[in-house]
């Protein structure tokens, strides 16, 4: 059994942000941390779902110990609740009663309080592995030198052998993130493999933003094609954000798939870096300038030989819609089959109504290209 990490997250206030970043770059990457977000007054480092934030102190303002934040791991949600009960009875200042904050990490459940010096502290329970689901088989899938975790959903309609989909999540996501779409696919007659990409919950390895992850997906396609209920001639790839980028890169390897759908994916990482200053440090640290082209699907369009559906919101603040429009233009220029669906007023996170429209378009596309020949 793996020991539970005691560190969940921290924040520190610094007098000179640039100097501190230069200093901490000497040792944080050794422990697996990468800069994943940077703004004018703060930088976030991440090791998977562990967070370390540095914040620039304001001139003439001293926050004292209240400028710090520390999060430590608990063994269970029950333990988080017990900590809350004990501290409340002791009269501690409770900043946040136990609640879910799963935008920090999968299954994140924490209580927040202040110590006698005013330092904010969280006690956190997070998922260590993908949780069991009553309506899906939890599977271990061989990747390219790593083992990937995921869920296999069986079709709820139709007759075997069934068409099948591999569903790929975005940055900081995991297979559980894709269960809503997987259930919709199952209801529409597809076998659906919701897969955690390397480096994310349930899978081995480290996230690499599309370098080796497409090779993992190639291995997963081979694994899925061998399932008795799956029609190996009718497999499709669907990915969101980074997962869409990985799906398109996988398609460029000419795997035995019939169609690829990509939601709001970065397709030209050099131009994405120019357009979004908040992800520059992440791309610089993880990829370097020389590592951007190999991760850019737009430079691989000549190798994509299956129909492609591109879906994007026109107000996406993270991955500009220009990424999809440029990919469409490149595919068409090389005589490839491509469809584009632009979601009006859509950001990088669709509303329920926008998501329903996008899924309707997706399943129409899949029916046309994964039907029986």
Instruction: Count Cβ atoms below 10 Å from residue 270 Cβ, excluding itself.
Output: 16
Residue 206: closest CA among 28, 49, 101: 49
**pTM greater than 0.85:** yes
pLDDT in tens, the chain (373 residues): 455 567 789 998 888 889 889 999 888 988 889 999 898 899 999 988 999 999 888 865 555 444 578 898 998 999 999 999 999 999 999 999 999 998 778 999 999 998 887 888 899 999 999 999 999 999 999 999 999 999 999 999 999 999 999 999 999 999 999 999 999 999 999 999 999 999 999 999 999 999 999 999 999 999 999 999 999 999 999 999 999 999 999 999 999 999 999 999 999 999 999 999 999 999 999 999 999 999 999 999 999 999 999 999 999 999 999 999 999 999 999 999 999 999 999 999 999 999 999 999 999 999 999 986 5
What is the distance between the alpha carbons of residues 279 and 244, in angstroms, rounded to a whole number? 17
**Tell me, what's the pLDDT at 4?**
59
C-alpha 195/C-alpha 300 separation (Å) is: 23
- Residue 227 exposure: Cα atoms within 13 Å on the Cβ side: 27
- How confident is the model over 111-124, as pLDDT tens digits? 999 888 788 889 99
Q: Are 303 and 252 in contact (CB under 8 A)?
A: yes
Question: Whole-angstrom Cα distance, residue 271 to residue 269?
Answer: 5
Integer Cα distance of 105 and 332 in angstroms: 39
pLDDT digit string (tens) for 57-75? 886 555 544 457 889 899 8
């Amino acid at each position: 059994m793996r020991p539970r990490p005691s560190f969940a997250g921290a924040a520190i206030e610094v007098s000179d942000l640039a100097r501190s970043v230069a200093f901490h770059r000497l040792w944080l990457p050794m422990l697996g941390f990468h800069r994943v977000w940077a703004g004018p007054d703060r930088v976030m480092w991440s090791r998977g779902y562990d967070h370390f934030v540095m914040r620039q102190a304001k001139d003439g303002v001293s926050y004292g110990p209240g400028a710090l934040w520390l999060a430590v791991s608990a063994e269970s949600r029950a333990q988080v609740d017990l900590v809350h009960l004990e501290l409340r009875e002791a009269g501690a200042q409770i900043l946040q009663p136990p609640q879910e904050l799963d935008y920090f990490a999968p299954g994140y459940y924490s209580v927040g309080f202040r110590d006698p010096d005013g330092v904010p502290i969280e006690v956190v329970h997070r998922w260590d592995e993908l949780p069991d689901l009553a309506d899906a088989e939890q599977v271990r899938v061989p990747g390219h030198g790593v083992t990937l975790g995921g869920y296999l959903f069986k079709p709820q309609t139709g007759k075997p052998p069934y068409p099948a989909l591999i569903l790929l999540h975005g940055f900081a996501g995991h297979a559980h993130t894709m269960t809503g779409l997987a259930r919709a696919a199952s209801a529409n007659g597809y076998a659906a493999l919701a897969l955690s990409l390397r480096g994310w919950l349930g899978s081995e390895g480290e996230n690499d933003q599309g370098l080796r992850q497409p090779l993992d997906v190639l291995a997963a396609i081979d694994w899925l094609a061998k399932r008795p209920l799956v029609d190996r001639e009718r497999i499709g790839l669907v990915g969101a954000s980074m997962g869409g980028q990985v799906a398109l890169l996988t398609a460029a390897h000419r795997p035995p798939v019939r169609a690829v759908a990509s939601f709001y994916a970065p397709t030209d990482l050099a131009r994405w870096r120019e357009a979004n200053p908040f992800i520059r440090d992440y791309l610089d640290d993880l990829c370097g300038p020389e590592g951007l082209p190999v991760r850019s699907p737009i430079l691989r369009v000549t190798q994509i030989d299956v129909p492609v559906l591109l879906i994007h919101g026109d107000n996406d603040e993270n991955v500009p819609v220009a990424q999809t429009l440029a990919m469409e233009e490149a595919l068409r220029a090389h005589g490839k089959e491509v469809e584009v669906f632009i979601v009006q007023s859509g950001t990088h996170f669709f509303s329920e109504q926008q998501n329903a429209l996008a899924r309707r378009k997706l399943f129409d596309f899949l029916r046309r290209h994964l039907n029986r020949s």
